[in-house]
Structure 1
Amino acid sequence: MNQTTDEHQRLYQNGSQPHNWKRWGPYVAERSWGTVREDYSADGDAWNYVTHDDARSKAYRWGEDGLAGVCDRYQLLCFALALWNGRDPILKERLFGTIPAEGNHGEDVKEYYYYLDSTPTHSYMRYLYKYPHREFPYAKLVEEGRKRGKDQPEYELLDTGVFDDNAYFDVFVEYAKNSPEDLCIKIEVHNRGSVAESLHVLPHLWFRNTWGWGAERGKRPTIKLNQQNDKFSCLVADDTNAASLQNLMVPYELGVRFLYAEAGGKPLFTDNENNAEKLYGATAQNASPYVKDAFHRHVIDQEECINHQQFGTKAAIHYGPVSIPAGGSVVIRCRLTDTRQHDPFGDFDAIVQRRKEDADKFYESIHPPKATADEKLIQRQALAGMLWTKQIYLFDVDLWLRGDNPNVPPPPGRRKIRNGQWKHLNSMRILSMPDKWEYPWFAAWDLAFHCIPLALVDAEFAKEQLWLMLFEQFQHSSGQIPAYEWEFSDLNPPVHAWAVWRVYNMDRVRNGQADREFLERCFHKLLLNFTWWVNKVDTEGNNVFEGGFLGLDNITVFDRSRPCADGQLKQADGTGWMGMFCLNMMRIALELAKENQTYVGLATKFFEHYTYIGSAIKHMGGMDCKLWCDEDGLFYDVFIHPDGSHEPFKVRSLVSLIPLFAVERLEEKWLQSFDGFRENFEWFMRNRNNVTQHCVSTFAGNQGTVHLLSVVNDDQLKKILQRLWNPEDFRSVYGLRSLSKHHQQHPFSFSGQTVSYEPGETLSWLKGGNSNWRGPVWFPTTFLMIESLRKLATAYGDSLQIRTPEAPDEEVRLMDLAGGFANGMINLFVRNAEGRRPIFGNREKMQNDPHWRDYLLFHEYFNAETGEGLGATHQTGWTGLVASLIDEWRH
């Protein structure tokens, strides 16, 4: 791989000052309202404690939001865009969406915006926001969403007709860094309509409110008008006299920053303070006469509410109304820098062009040689989404529980609502988010998958992300990794060890160096996490795990994260995940044992633990039942009644397949390097055959004797794979169904609840609202299945093949199964022979319009029959794995 591009050099420079190219980035959320962090209610109803309507008037405590926003590493100073089309009831400062009580499939952002490009240092970024000429239909979206049933599609912005006749603006925002502290910002607005239209454009610059929360208010930073002439306006932002940030090891300040904006705009000033009178009633008192929503009121309502003395903690340059001819465009240039500029726009265009060319060269070094032009576009936008969804995650849970001001404490009952056991969690980190609107908070198992595509472009950032979840201020003293902010104590699948091992190897192969220090640090913390899992979810010590909902929110008939008073659910997926965890830890320990024989004993420990789990999944720890059903050729959960009787939950779902994720191979020749482990392995194979016979197969492979560590033998594997590859069972054209199509005609019922195949949006909510594991295709689980099939193919070669219902006389190789699933997922995004992308479904504008069809959305999951994207529209997090599939299957 070519690592000589200018962007690669910037990545290498990033670790030392003054070359911190990542100090400024897209670390601003797209939604801070409706989050747990901003919720100080007595009932935990975060969505209604700070609403979208409140957001323009309320100063946030824990982080800012905006359109196409950027900020510094600790979000002292933010820059973002605001717009007004002259018709809307509010200034467009942030994205709008319906909350779970308003939408028929849970929360749903109701905007069209796209992350089109980004380098890993954010030296170049490009973003697109589509803004209607007509009044934005806020009320209509809410009203229609409330009326629709779960069996109907979501009511989207295109459905309202506001984009008819191309009556909209395309607002492109480009960032190009001349240096780590010098950002050129190009705003280009295209009028796609057939008549001239006007638009108000307001680039915003503001300080996050870090001064207004304690018993006494701290010193504030300032933004002032510094200069205005016929070429530009200049604002100067200065935090040198402001109170320092708490919780940092060393003092942090920005110093003086200059925002230059081309002539033609009017500087506006206010303060980033609550409009308490609007939020809390006439008896409340504003801390400043100039408040956060002043620009909204000034531009739209023509109120005299801005600071004419031209200073404050929030400022904007108001261009408008700017007339844009039909089919034409206008460009507005800004420059945010740490140095005084006499001619800030003299070299501006050259800088933007140079950084765009740098980005092109960088991605040409990333794209695999066999990728088509369309696949390169898909991979680049997927990675752009991964990089744009970085966010500064500010959250001190102990302070949040106690409250900032001892004179105005939160309601005492709220300490019992959520996260009371996580007082140690204190984040001031840049984290990879699943989606900065629908999920503007980290989710541990999502993040593990994020790191695989991130490692393609920035292995150091990927490794840092994995380590942070294990860092003392995140990982609980019990060993648990925090799940997500709505409940840090919830259970996500234990995929962290897999991600650490995967990223370590990607980094080693791509960059030519093995980062043993990273691997060893993570391994020690993963030991704590493994112990927590064993003690938490194997309550009877028989190596069969209850686990909880494990991320599969509504895959069964009841909420698995809640204890069942009528019995216990022994989970095939929980047990499968733990078998996988053991094998990941075994491989890490063997890698570390190459340089330190101390790790041999730990490798042995994890191998032996795996075998007990692998045996138990067949025999339930000696109980007279098992999770494997030979008749169906699948694993099932088993429900244990209080009287000891039991019955299998015969739901053909991912639960039935996840035990296949626990697979590794040990080649006899390779084991010769590990004398201690090899001796222990051979002793265990001889003396614990009653255990190992169920989960270790030994046979002659292409490279000599191979020991295959898998919980299924050849016969069981063939039965599972026949289900897996059957289009009437698990195989969709676009990947792996999360629930078998078998249940379309044969629903499963238990205690009055039913599970049936739903290829699109769910009709049954248990957790998560818009989350559906009852049929759609998901990237993370299909990705893991592809990995398992590739490992099995390497072990078996062509000696194990299966027959399919479509071609009963032909045999299919394991590698063909893996490639079939991989290509199916890539083809979700690729234009097919008819020129249509399956992800867009029947949205004709997205399929055919030249200003829409190549701007991609990366949905949370996909309709298993049509490929249409569903759920969150920008969950590039784990759906960004398409970039990794293109990388691995187009070389």
Structure 2
Amino acid sequence: MEPVSSRPDAAATAEHARLASSPGADGPWRLWGPYVSARQWGTVREDYSADGNAWDYLPFDDAHRRAYRWGEDGMAGVCDRFGFLNLGVALWNRADDRLKERLFGLTNAQGNHGEDVKEVWWPTDATPTHSFATWLYRYPQAAFPYDELRQANAARTRNDPEFELTDTGVLADDRFFDVAVTYAKASPTDLLMSVDVTNHGPDPASLDLIPQAWFHNTWAWGRDDRTPEMRLADGVVQLRHAWLGIYRLEADGTPRILFCDNESDSRTLWGVSDGPECPKDGLDRAIVHGDTSAVRDDHGTKVGFHWQLDDLAPGETRTVRLRLTAIEPGSVPASAYFEAPGSSGFGDFDAVVQQRGQEADDFYREVLPVGVDDVDAHIARRAFAGLLWGKQLFRYAVGEWLEGDPAQPTPPASRQQRGARNAGWTHLDLADVISMPDEWEYPWFASWDLAFHTVPLALIDPAFAKDQIDLMIREWAQRPNGQLPAYEWNFDDVNPPVHAWAAWLVYSVAGDEDREFLTQVFTKLLLNFSWWVNRKDADGSYLFEGGFLGMDNIGLFDRSQPLPDGLRLEQSDATSWMAFYSLSMLRIAVELSRHDNSWGGTTRTFFEYFLRLAQAMDDFGSRGISLWDEQDGFFYDSVVRPDGGGQQLPVRSLVGLLPLIAVESVHPLVVAQLPGLLDEVHWLERRDTTLAEVLRHHERHDDQRITMGLVPHDRRTRLFTRMFDKAEFLSPHGIRSLSAAYREQFSMAVDGTEFAIRYNPAESDSALFGGNSNWRGPVWFPVNFLLVDALGVYAEAYPEFRVEYPTGSGQQHSLAEVTNDLMDRMVQLFRPAAGGRRPGTPKWYPSGPLWDPHPTFSEYFDGDDGSGLGATHQTGWTALVAYLICRGLATD
């Protein structure tokens, strides 16, 4: 796919104008947003244990009593970009044993398929500057079944489905409240919040609604003794903070106002006699348990506005409104953020909310292509909403975390020992708003997930998309040796190198010819490329190892672990990723060379390096073992012995299809501007006869176009036969991650040890990687996107080529037709089918008018029926569906 800018004029809509006025992270319209994590408990950042068990160190049951060190969590939470002041909602159905202040889920050990959120909610709308945002939560009217969910899942094995909230019966007969939260900004520092509560049950029901504001605890750790303050004056809460300045928070009506402090309840937790009198759980104790000894009526660092919504009739909705407004600037530069105080009170409230909602509609009409129908427009807009609500503040200074804080107990020495978690990343120091993979199950950045996120983000906020790519290569994130941080649980892990590809797509979609961005990314990725070459090509063979590379569980064994007795695993996917990386870097180098001849040398470097990778894929067989199996027509990993012998691992999976993604076709207009590139081709043919042979094998070129692919034509055709076979990879909704040919178990001996694998269309029955490692069959959206992206390149380069699709059907199609059909299968996951239910909806979600309008964006999808699996709010890489819709490549 050749990306073409769909970037509208900066002043096309009011939201575009706001984006233009706030291009960077410090822009005034970016000060406030939904940056509060959906889960802070159970994260590595909050873990100060000796054994690194983050789930147990700060569990859910302690979260309402313990002050967090590095961030906050909440429901429908918004905060400033550094997380100093937070705003969210709390609820009580008068049956629960605690306030509903945060979303509940199972820890890795508690879930029979790993960590698993057990709540129902949807991000329903958002603009990139968060001038307008809406969110919907479904709250049971009966007691939330915390213990039942834990116990039932503990009793199940990996062969059983997960026990979900709907299995408890607590949502039966629609006995739940819908809690709809809306935010609208009257100005960058004037935030309006409304909460609509609807009783969907058949009987009257009551609810306590407590919108809350709280300061992040920065004062208890011994690094900053300044304590912010909230104080009630004339019915309005005044909030003072050294950086933010002075804000006022007022409610429409006369709720009960209660204060406590965002400090740990050390008396209850640890038996400390002189602990805080009004700790973090003071509101919970007062409202749920009737104990008012831990709250104040006039000051604190946490405040709740308590409404008692008694006897809501069936179908009735009640609304509460609040307003947070800056009145004096603090140390934050006034010119950057602060505006003169807006209107106080609520006279203009409804008009502002209505206007911002209309401006959101105007914005997305510009973003979405002309002619897109209402169904696809709804899908894309919900995908964008999930992406934007998934932006969360990530604070983590690894050096301070390892060292511990002056006012707290010294962490165990084991945390800093060689090989301990993240001990080699003391330079990493982030306090940034980052696009998260999933707001509950993965509330931390994962660098390769993030690269995929930037592609749809570039359609609505190219400045933020660039900022996210740039963040991963800054000196406070990237290691001096060039390695990029992987993810919080293990920054040392190795993720596929997709950042150059993402940077090019973002650059192309933005359409602003921001070569400064492209140059900065390219120069830092040169370091990363060198790290890969020096660390993951053990013998200089141009065949790469790499590890699991995101491909959890689709191999016979854990590829992240070293093999015994000097064995080495040469990986088809690792080598393919490096070829893909080479071509992505070549693509950028070509663009830079068009405007600056000094980049010509890097163009030749990556051109030649790609050819050597292609040569290695071809010639490996001359050393006794190969990645290509001529009989099967497929690429496999190979185990190599010290003597050079070894064996293939003949498991057909994405590992063997990934060589297809390494393809690049240089447009004739570009070739015309780079005569040196064509001269290099001819010179290489004369200078190196071995590479010239590879060049003829892997490159089709003439005076008008240069096309290179890691897989030569004959092998590519055979891979297509497997890939488009319904009995193997082709599912109704995309390409499976493991061939369905293994519905019956496949086993083989590797160096005397027996291993087995079996296709599972849904959850994996293997604990090989722990957690949500379920790639033994499901459709995985990001790699499907890469495959169709590559097919689009092949289609443009070889428009006359036709292939049987599906395999065995006798029907011949062009690659363009195949590409469009595959993308259509992917988009169909989110379109309503007969009866209104969407194929990609998780099976445990009910159907009906209260459910079907809400598409879900799961982590991956059942390889047979397409139902959503894994993390239920992975509107990160799965939001790539919005790109497919907006690029107009998916057809009805």
Q: Normalised by the shorter chain, which TM-score bucket?
A: over 0.9
> 299, 302, 307: which one pairs with 1:319?
307
The percent of aligned pairs where both chains have the same amino acid is 43
- Say whether the 8 Å CA contact 1:725–1:817 is kept in structure 2: no
- Say whether the 8 Å CA contact 1:730–1:738 is kept in structure 2: yes
User: How many Å separate the matches in 1 of 2:582 and 2:699?
Assistant: 22
Name the CA shift for 1:586/1:19 in 2 (closer, same or farther; >3 Å): closer
- Say whether the 8 Å CA contact 2:634–2:656 is kept in structure 1: yes
User: How many Å separate the matches in 2 of 1:441 and 1:135?
Assistant: 30
1:627 match: 627
- Say whether the 8 Å CA contact 2:802–2:812 is kept in structure 1: no
Helix, strand or coil at the partner of 2:673: coil
2:246 match: 256
- Say whether the 8 Å CA contact 1:734–1:828 is kept in structure 2: yes
Q: How far has the Cα of 1:834 moved from its partner?
A: 4.0
2:279 match: 291
User: 1:46-80 CA distances to partner (integer Å, 9 max, x unpaired)?
Assistant: 00000000100000000000000000011110001
- Say whether the 8 Å CA contact 2:126–2:389 is kept in structure 1: yes
Name the CA shift for 1:621/1:402 in 2 (closer, same or farther; >3 Å): farther
User: How many Å separate the matches in 2 of 1:327 and 1:480?
Assistant: 55
Q: TM-score when scaled to structure 1?
A: 0.94
User: 1:448-478 CA distances to partner (integer Å, 9 max, x unpaired)?
Assistant: 0000000010000000000000000000011
- Say whether the 8 Å CA contact 2:657–2:719 is kept in structure 1: yes
Q: How far has the Cα of 1:156 moved from its partner?
A: 0.7
Name the CA shift for 1:413/1:59 in 2 (closer, same or farther; >3 Å): same
User: 1:436-457 CA distances to partner (integer Å, 9 max, x unpaired)?
Assistant: 1100000000000000000010
Name the CA shift for 1:139/1:446 in 2 (closer, same or farther; >3 Å): same
Helix, strand or coil at the partner of 1:876: coil
1:245 match: none
User: 1:792-817 CA distances to partner (integer Å, 9 max, x unpaired)?
Assistant: 01001123433643422x31211122
2:93 match: 85
User: 1:225-256 CA distances to partner (integer Å, 9 max, x unpaired)?
Assistant: 1222xxxxx1111013xxxxxxxxxxxx1000
User: 1:638-670 CA distances to partner (integer Å, 9 max, x unpaired)?
Assistant: 011344321101110010011111101235664
- Say whether the 8 Å CA contact 2:267–2:275 is kept in structure 1: no
User: How many Å separate the matches in 1 of 2:440 and 2:842?
Assistant: 22
User: 1:683-706 CA distances to partner (integer Å, 9 max, x unpaired)?
Assistant: 1133334234335558888x9653
For 1:355, the aligned partner's letter is R
2:796 match: 794
> 118, 126, 150: which one pairs with 1:118?
126
- Say whether the 8 Å CA contact 1:696–1:710 is kept in structure 2: no
User: How many Å separate the matches in 2 of 1:407 and 1:57?
Assistant: 17
Pairing 1:149–2:148 present: no
Q: How far has the Cα of 1:346 moved from its partner?
A: 0.5
2:608 match: 608
Q: How far has the Cα of 1:836 moved from its partner?
A: 2.4
For 2:300, the aligned partner's letter is G
User: How many Å separate the matches in 1 of 2:288 and 2:867?
Assistant: 38
For 1:455, the aligned partner's letter is A
1:277 match: 267
User: 1:251-294 CA distances to partner (integer Å, 9 max, x unpaired)?
Assistant: xx1000111112231110010011112222x2x24542110011
User: How many Å separate the matches in 2 of 1:786 and 1:738?
Assistant: 14
Q: How does 1:162-561 map to 2 (within 5 A)?
A: 162-214=170-222, 218-228=225-235, 234-240=236-242, 253-280=243-270, 282=271, 284-308=272-296, 310-339=298-327, 343-405=344-406, 408-416=409-417, 417-508=420-511, 513-561=512-560
User: How many Å separate the matches in 2 of 1:121 and 1:201?
Assistant: 27
Which runs of at least 4 in structure 1 moved beyond 6 Å after TM superposition?
16-19, 698-701
2:774 match: 772
For 1:159, the aligned partner's letter is D
Name the CA shift for 1:400/1:498 in 2 (closer, same or farther; >3 Å): same
Equivalent pairs, count:
863
User: How many Å separate the matches in 1 of 2:619 and 2:356?
Assistant: 60
User: How many Å separate the matches in 2 of 1:17 and 1:370?
Assistant: 33
2:807 match: 805
RMSD of aligned Cα (Å):
1.9
- Say whether the 8 Å CA contact 1:268–1:306 is kept in structure 2: no
Q: How far has the Cα of 1:770 moved from its partner?
A: 1.5
Q: How does 1:50-89 map to 2 (within 5 A)?
A: 50-89=58-97
> 739, 752, 755: which one pairs with 1:753?
755
Name the CA shift for 1:255/1:557 in 2 (closer, same or farther; >3 Å): same
Name the CA shift for 1:77/1:689 in 2 (closer, same or farther; >3 Å): same
User: 1:836-866 CA distances to partner (integer Å, 9 max, x unpaired)?
Assistant: 2112254472x3x211111121100000111
- Say whether the 8 Å CA contact 1:695–1:711 is kept in structure 2: no
Deviates more, 1:439-448 or 1:691-700: 691-700
Consecutive unaligned residues of structure 1, counting only runs of 5 or more, are 229-233, 241-252
- Say whether the 8 Å CA contact 1:672–1:678 is kept in structure 2: no
User: How many Å separate the matches in 1 of 2:281 and 2:379?
Assistant: 38
For 2:756, the aligned partner's letter is T
User: How many Å separate the matches in 2 of 1:730 and 1:803?
Assistant: 12
- Say whether the 8 Å CA contact 1:453–1:883 is kept in structure 2: yes
Q: How does 1:680-719 map to 2 (within 5 A)?
A: 680-694=680-694, 705-719=704-718
- Say whether the 8 Å CA contact 2:823–2:890 is kept in structure 1: no
Deviates more, 1:106-115 or 1:711-720: 711-720
Helix, strand or coil at the partner of 1:113: strand
For 2:280, the aligned partner's letter is K
Name the CA shift for 1:275/1:657 in 2 (closer, same or farther; >3 Å): same
User: How many Å separate the matches in 1 of 2:454 and 2:26?
Assistant: 27
Helix, strand or coil at the partner of 2:743: helix
Consecutive unaligned residues of structure 2, counting only runs of 5 or more, are 1-5, 328-340
Name the CA shift for 1:564/1:672 in 2 (closer, same or farther; >3 Å): same
Deviates more, 1:666-675 or 1:59-68: 666-675
Q: How far has the Cα of 1:342 moved from its partner?
A: 7.1
User: How many Å separate the matches in 1 of 2:742 and 2:535?
Assistant: 32
Name the CA shift for 1:144/1:431 in 2 (closer, same or farther; >3 Å): same
Pairing 1:30–2:38 present: yes
Q: How far has the Cα of 1:125 moved from its partner?
A: 0.3
User: How many Å separate the matches in 2 of 1:597 and 1:794?
Assistant: 28
User: 1:191-224 CA distances to partner (integer Å, 9 max, x unpaired)?
Assistant: 001111110000100100011101x761211011
Name the CA shift for 1:444/1:872 in 2 (closer, same or farther; >3 Å): same
User: 1:74-132 CA distances to partner (integer Å, 9 max, x unpaired)?
Assistant: 11100010000000011100000011111111000000010000000000000000001
User: How many Å separate the matches in 1 of 2:467 and 2:711?
Assistant: 35
User: How many Å separate the matches in 2 of 1:748 and 1:829?
Assistant: 36
For 2:267, the aligned partner's letter is E
Deviates more, 1:849-858 or 1:734-743: 849-858
Name the CA shift for 1:569/1:486 in 2 (closer, same or farther; >3 Å): same
User: How many Å separate the matches in 1 of 2:718 and 2:689?
Assistant: 24
User: How many Å separate the matches in 2 of 1:17 and 1:825?
Assistant: 33
For 2:393, the aligned partner's letter is I
Helix, strand or coil at the partner of 2:415: helix
Pairing 1:98–2:106 present: yes
Q: How far has the Cα of 1:422 moved from its partner?
A: 0.3
Name the CA shift for 1:871/1:629 in 2 (closer, same or farther; >3 Å): same
Q: TM-score when scaled to structure 2?
A: 0.94
- Say whether the 8 Å CA contact 1:553–1:768 is kept in structure 2: no
